[in-house]
Amino acid sequence: SIREPGWVYLHLQHIPSITSPNSTIDNATVNLHITAALKSFLGLHGAAISFDILKLEGRQVWIRASAEDRAACVAAVGGWISSSGEGWRVRSWSHWNASALGRDSGQEL
């Protein structure tokens, strides 16, 4: 039998600001952005949500978070825009596959 998953894997795409479309992103910036998004959306509860950055490739980022925090992570990160105009698109998420190909965010429709 299949038990409930412990993790959710999210595939994110960084959306740069209009003023810096060619800027690069690193793990520290990803961490700061996602933490800011979670804290902005959920306050102290959001700040307490832990996540792991699994892979960073160009503007594509794969993270892992607790399965019970999936909805909060998707809503917080997908709806956040920084003061400089940067943001994130949730490309897909999955409980079972670290490549996060299980769900499409509908961007291709």
The pLDDT tens digits for 69-106 are 999 999 999 999 999 999 999 999 998 876 655 445 44
CA distances from 86 to 16, 60, 69, 107 (A): 5, 14, 23, 18
Q: What local confidence, expressed as pLDDT, does residue 99 receive? A: 63
Q: Which of 81, 67, 96, 83 is nearest to 37 (CA)?
A: 81
Fold observed for domain 7-97 = Alpha-Beta Plaits (3.30.70)
- The answer on pLDDT for 14 being more than 70 is yes
Place 2 in a pLDDT band, splitting at 50, 70 and 90.
low
Q: What local confidence, expressed as pLDDT, does residue 80 receive? A: 96
Place 24 in a pLDDT band, splitting at 50, 70 and 90.
confident
Q: Where are the domains of the chain?
A: 7-97
